[in-house]
Amino acid sequence: MFKKYDAYKDSSVEWIGNIPAEWSLKKISHVFRNIGSGTTPLSGSDIYYKNGSINWLQTGDLNDGYIDETSKKITEKALRHYSTLKQYSKGSLVVAMYGATIGKVGILNIDTATNQACCVLGANFGVDIKYYFYMLQGFKADIIRMAYGGGQPNISQETIKNLRLPFPDLSTQHEISKFLDQKTSEIDQAIAIKEQQIALLNERKKIVIQQAVTQGLNPNVAMKDSGVEWIGQIPEHWEIDRLGTILEPISKKGYEDKQLLSITREKGVIVRDIKDDSENHNFIPDDLTNYKLIEAGQFGMNKMKAWQGSYGVSAYTGIVSPAYYIFRFIKPIYPEFFHWAIRSKLYVSFFGSASDGVRVGQWDLSKDRMKQIPFVFPSLEQQKTIADYLTQQSELISEGIKQYSAQIEKLKEYKTTLINDAVTGKIKVA
Q: Is the pLDDT of residue 279 over 90?
A: no
Do 150 and 249 have their domain in common?
Answer: no
Q: Which range is least confidently modeled, 65-69, 371-375, 410-414?
A: 371-375
> Does residue 241 contact residue 375 with C-beta atoms inside 8 Å?
yes
pLDDT of amino acid 396: 97
- How far is 218 from 229, CA to CA, in rounded Å? 22
Do 32 and 162 have their domain in common?
Answer: yes
Angle 304-309-312 from CA coordinates, rounded to 5°: 100
Do 246 and 373 have their domain in common?
Answer: yes
Do 39 and 157 have their domain in common?
Answer: yes
pLDDT band of residue 349 (cuts 50, 70, 90) is confident
> Does residue 308 contact residue 283 with C-beta atoms inside 8 Å?
no
Does residue 173 belong to any structural domain of this protein?
Answer: no
Q: Give the contacts of 154 (CB within 8 A, at least 6 positions apart).
A: 97, 98, 99, 102, 147, 148
- How far is 420 from 406, CA to CA, in rounded Å? 21
Does residue 400 belong to any structural domain of this protein?
Answer: no
Total residue length of the chain: 430
Indicate the pairing of strand 24-27 with strand 54-57: unpaired
Q: Is the pLDDT of residue 430 over 90?
A: no
Do 250 and 355 have their domain in common?
Answer: yes
Does residue 148 belong to any structural domain of this protein?
Answer: yes
Do 128 and 245 have their domain in common?
Answer: no
pLDDT tens, position by position, 108-128:
999 999 999 999 998 777 789
Do 246 and 328 have their domain in common?
Answer: yes
pLDDT of amino acid 58: 94
Whole-number percent of the chain with pLDDT over 70 = 92
- How far is 25 from 13, CA to CA, in rounded Å? 10
Does residue 425 belong to any structural domain of this protein?
Answer: no
Burial of 114 (0-12, 13-18, 19+ CB in 10 A): buried
> Does residue 212 contact residue 340 with C-beta atoms inside 8 Å?
yes
Q: Is the pLDDT of residue 308 over 90?
A: no
Burial of 174 (0-12, 13-18, 19+ CB in 10 A): middle
Residue ending a domain, choose from 357, 377, 397: 377
pLDDT average, residue stretch 277-301: 76
Whole-number percent of the chain with pLDDT over 90 = 67
Do 148 and 250 have their domain in common?
Answer: no
pLDDT tens, position by position, 313-337:
999 999 888 888 899 999 999 999 9
pLDDT of amino acid 73: 95
Buried b (16+ CB within 10 A) or exposed e, 138-164: bbbeebeeebeeeeebebebebbbebe
Q: Is the pLDDT of residue 215 over 90?
A: yes
Instruction: For 162, list phi and psi in degrees, rounded to 5.
Output: -90, 0
Using CA atoms in the order 406, 410, 412, 413, what is the torsion angle rounded to 10 degrees? 130
**Which of the pair, 311 or 107, is modelled with greater confidence?**
107
- How far is 305 from 264, CA to CA, in rounded Å? 9
Does residue 9 belong to any structural domain of this protein?
Answer: no
Half-sphere exposure of 257 (CA within 13 A, CB side): 0
* Residue 426 CB neighbours (<10 A): 19
Do 244 and 363 have their domain in common?
Answer: yes
Helix (H, G, I), strand (E, B) or coil at 218: coil
Does residue 172 belong to any structural domain of this protein?
Answer: no
Domain that holds residue 293: 239-377
**Which of the pair, 148 or 29, is modelled with greater confidence?**
29
Residue ending a domain, choose from 144, 167, 190: 167
pLDDT average, residue stretch 379-390: 96
pLDDT band of residue 185 (cuts 50, 70, 90) is very high
Chain-centroid distance, C-alpha 89: 30
Do 137 and 250 have their domain in common?
Answer: no
pLDDT band of residue 275 (cuts 50, 70, 90) is low
What CATH code is carried by the domain that includes residue 286? 3.90.220.20
pLDDT average, residue stretch 252-276: 76
**Which of the pair, 79 or 323, is modelled with greater confidence?**
79
Instruction: For 258, list phi and psi in degrees, rounded to 5.
Output: -85, 160
Mean pLDDT, the chain, whole residue set: 89
- How far is 89 from 110, CA to CA, in rounded Å? 7
pLDDT band of residue 360 (cuts 50, 70, 90) is very low
Q: Is the pLDDT of residue 278 over 80?
A: no
The count of domains in the chain is 2
Does residue 16 belong to any structural domain of this protein?
Answer: no
Helix (H, G, I), strand (E, B) or coil at 246: helix
Does residue 201 belong to any structural domain of this protein?
Answer: no
**Which of the pair, 390 or 33, is modelled with greater confidence?**
390
